[in-house]
Amino acid sequence: MPQNNSIDNLFSLRTNGNALIIAGPCSAETEQQVLSTAHEIAKCEKVKLFRAGIWKPRTAPGNFEGIGKKGLEWLKKVKEQTSLYTTTEVATPEHVEYCLKNEGSVDVLWIGARTTANPFSVQALADVLKGVDIPVMIKNPLNPDIKLWAGAIERLKKAGIKNIAAIHRGFSPFENTSLRNIPKWELAIEIKSIFPEMLVINDPSHISGKREYIFEISQKALDLNLDGLMIETHINPNKALSDAKQQLTPKELLEILQNLKFRKSSLNNSEFINKLDQYRDQIDSIDYQMLELLSKRMNIVKEIGNYKINNNVTIFQLKRWLDITKTRKEFGNTIGLDEQFIKKMLQLVHRESIRQQTEIANKE
């Protein structure tokens, strides 16, 4: 039977270096595969929630699309035979109804990335979940649209779902990369900032696409103070019917969890807090100075804009822009700043400069 930790406790915010660890196969394939995987995973005390997809939305027809509702009986046996809670993905109101009717099979539902991308689908799930006391986890949409992700969370909140978590599984790249999905960590931080009372769980399996990257991505997530990990784990990954390359064996999962550094989000030690406050005071001072300098820069940008328009000269000057990027990168390198960081910062400032001068031109 599941441990004494209640579902409410599982979904409480993490502060002391612990994390909500979710593990299990991408797909439930056979009863033996599900139970064998679960029994091995249960040997690791850090894992609290067993995941397995029984309905699998696939890009092309003909691929394995899950074993369907009979998998709920297998999940029920996982709960009866191990200390693990269970979770599965739902994409339609019918999926939700099957889970709710099969009492004792599923403790937590999750909504996949493809479903999150469709507000109609999310609303349909929210409608069927009204008045139901079951936790729901919501993966980010395929494209990096923070409003779409936040909107899906809001729909579930309005339906009265008390325990909600966001799952950061990365975003579809526009071109081939070493990772399956681009992490875009800043969006995970942003969703955590929008909903500070809510868990944000990282899915290193779908970000990596390859098991060799899972440790590195997991550590990055924990270092950014995300609240947990969802790691795909299969008793025999090489024979998996879906996502074979990104799944770990239970033994590999245990090794990763033993080697990860679970850091605390803060300390009550007064010496630590005082020292940290001193550093933060320095950062605050520098930030305000940067903003003042940017304001002065934009005032000069406006003067240049007026001067260009009065002399019938175009806003964008290619030669000047190339000179700025070249010289600033060279200088940045001499003081230890990353070249890509300088490039992105300059692009952001230049975009605002173009906008300001365009406004001046439009007024003329």
CATH number, domain at 148?
Answer: 3.20.20.70
Whether residues 64 and 93 fall in one domain: yes
Question: CA geometry: angle at 75 spanning 99 and 48, to 5°?
Answer: 105
Rg of the Cα trace of the chain?
A: 25
Return per-residue pLDDT of the chain as tens, 364 residues.
554 457 888 888 666 678 999 999 999 999 999 999 999 999 999 999 999 999 987 666 777 878 999 999 999 999 999 999 999 999 999 999 999 999 899 999 999 999 999 999 999 999 999 999 999 999 999 999 999 999 999 999 999 999 999 999 999 987 788 999 999 999 999 999 999 999 999 999 999 999 999 999 999 999 999 999 999 999 999 999 999 999 999 999 999 999 999 988 878 889 999 999 999 999 999 999 999 999 999 999 999 999 999 999 999 999 999 999 999 999 999 999 999 999 999 999 999 999 999 999 998 7
- What is the per-residue pLDDT for 4? 42
Whether residues 108 and 163 fall in one domain: yes
Whether residues 255 and 284 fall in one domain: no
283 is in which domain, residue-wise? Answer: 270-363
Distance, CA of 3 to chain centre:
27
Based on the structure, what is the number of domains in the chain? 2
| Backbone φ and ψ of 4, nearest 5° | -65, -20
Domain annotation covers residue 158: yes
- What is the per-residue pLDDT for 16? 67
The tokens of 310 are what? 């009065």
Whether residues 337 and 195 fall in one domain: no
Are residues 166 and 140 in contact, defined by beta-carbon separation less than 8 angstroms? yes
Domain annotation covers residue 337: yes
Domain boundary among the residues 233, 259, 285 is at 259
- What is the per-residue pLDDT for 2? 52
Whether residues 181 and 246 fall in one domain: yes
Whether residues 253 and 277 fall in one domain: no
Domain annotation covers residue 338: yes
Whether residues 200 and 306 fall in one domain: no
Whether residues 298 and 332 fall in one domain: yes
Tell me the three-class secondary structure of 289-336, residue by residue: HHHHHHHHHHHHHHHHHHHHHHCCCCCCCHHHHHHHHHHHHHHHHHCC
**β-strands 136-139, 47-51 pairing:** unpaired
CATH number, domain at 332?
Answer: 1.20.59.10
Whether residues 51 and 198 fall in one domain: yes
Neighbours of 14 (CB within 10 A): 19
